[in-house]
Amino acid sequence: MSVLVYTESENGKFKKTAFEAASYASEVAKLLGTEVVAVAVNADNPGELAGYGVDKTLVVKNDKLSNFNEKAYADILAQAAGKSASSVVILSSSANAKYLAPVLAVALNAGYASNVIALPESTAPFTVKRTAFTNKAFSLTEINTPVKVLGIAKNSYGVIAAEGKGETEEFSPELGADDFSTEVVSVDKVTGKVSIADAEIVVSGGRGLKGPENWGMIEELADVLGAATACSKPVSDLGWRPHGEHVGQTGKPVASNLYIAVGISGAIQHLAGINASKVKVVINNDPEAPFFKAADYGVVGDAFDVVPRLTEKLKEFKANNA
């Protein structure tokens, strides 16, 4: 038996989601009294996973896999799960992992629970807590198949050091032509900018900023904090910011450590998408804005006055605490 974990990498380096998924897998393995097997595709240092409780890493090296492809990756993981007699398969909640998980679940004839936020409450029956209704509620979900697939919500478990055996083994699963029936033509990734999915801190602007020409101060605030930038839905609908920045119930979910909302009223659909963030700060000139009910810290003030001063003060703070 084993717990299998998919450890994502990009350009050969493991992503933080890989370590978080491995940490979670290692605790599940303890609960089940078994070991953790990781699958790493084209990663440079598979040994790194030992520090997060991984006992064995199946190392796949294949140039055909340099672009993510859900069918091929599902095929690899299904073969790894078969070979390792895995009863639980753990994935992160990255865009790629969410693409892969349902396909893998069908291949394994496994029940799948997405957005899982904590360790299983029990292993027989197998129950996990997951978010539902876009973070307006949690659901305790039972999976009743012999093999289970879990998608772990971002930032819900954390990266936790643990000692694993850290063995590595070359793994060359068989891939069919059909695995490559969808081909990546081009990838357009904003470089040098933190993505909302990876960000620890997100600075977000709303319609209160009046127009796209005023986003400079949002970007500067984000820069000092090493944060990603985001926006409310009307802001992207108006074309002030790209769609990829729209967060909320119908946009991207945000599960950062800190979410700073500037000139955003705090409509229920906006809050639904950012509720999973740990600490929320609102800057708004209307003390009656609903966001103040959802936030941990608030400043009632004009964004055009507060944000530039906050940025300056943070620069000083960073310089003194570097």
Partner 1 sequence: MKILVCISHVPDTTSKINFTEGDSRFDTNGVQFVINPNDEFGLTRAMWFKEQQGATVTVVNVGPADTEPTLRKALAIGADEAIRVNAEPTDGYYVAKQLARVVSEGNYDLIIAGRESIDYNGGMVPGMLASLCGANFVNTCIGIEVDGNSANVTREIDGGKEILKTTLPLVIGGQKGLVEEKDLKIPNMRGIMMARKKALNVLEPVEAETMTKAVSFEKPAPKGAVKLVSPDNLDELISLLHNEAKVI
- Contacting partner 1 within 185-224 (CB under 8 A): 185-190, 193, 195-198, 200-201
Choose among partner 1, ligand FAD, none what residue 297 binds, the Cβ cut-off being 5 to 8 Å by kind: partner 1
Query: 51, 102, 212, 290: which one contacts partner 1 (CB under 8 A)?
Result: 102
How many whole angstroms separate alpha carbon 54 and alpha carbon 39? 10
> Under the criterion CB under 8 A, does residue 81 sit at the interface with partner 1?
no
Query: 64, 165, 210, 313: which one contacts partner 1 (CB under 8 A)?
Result: 313
How many whole angstroms separate alpha carbon 138 and alpha carbon 136? 7
In this structure, how many other beta carbons lie within 10 angstroms of the beta carbon of residue 11? 8
> Under the criterion CB under 8 A, does residue 103 sit at the interface with partner 1?
yes
User: At residue 2, what are phi and psi to the nearest 5 degrees?
Assistant: -165, 165
How many whole angstroms separate alpha carbon 26 and alpha carbon 161? 10
Q: Which is nearer to ligand FAD, 30 or 207 (CB)?
A: 207
Write down the least CB distance from residue 280 to partner 1, Å: 9
How many whole angstroms separate alpha carbon 222 and alpha carbon 145? 45
How many whole angstroms separate alpha carbon 256 and alpha carbon 196? 8
Tokens for 312?
Answer: 């300056």
**Which residues of this protein are in contact with ligand FAD, per CB under 6 A?**
206-208, 232-235, 248-251, 263-265, 267, 269-270, 273, 284-286, 289, 302-304
Choose among ligand FAD, partner 1, none what residue 284 binds, the Cβ cut-off being 5 to 8 Å by kind: ligand FAD
Q: Which of residues 128-187 bind partner 1 (CB under 8 A)?
A: 131-145, 151, 181-187
Query: 94, 229, 232, 265: which one contacts partner 1 (CB under 8 A)?
Result: 94
Inter-helix orientation angle 216-225/303-321, to 10°: 20
Write down the least CB distance from residue 31 to ligand FAD, Å: 36
Name which of 103, 116, 120, 108 is nearest 79 in CA terms.
108
Q: Is 79 helix (H, G, I), strand (E, B) or coil?
A: helix
Residue facing ligand FAD at closest CB distance: 248
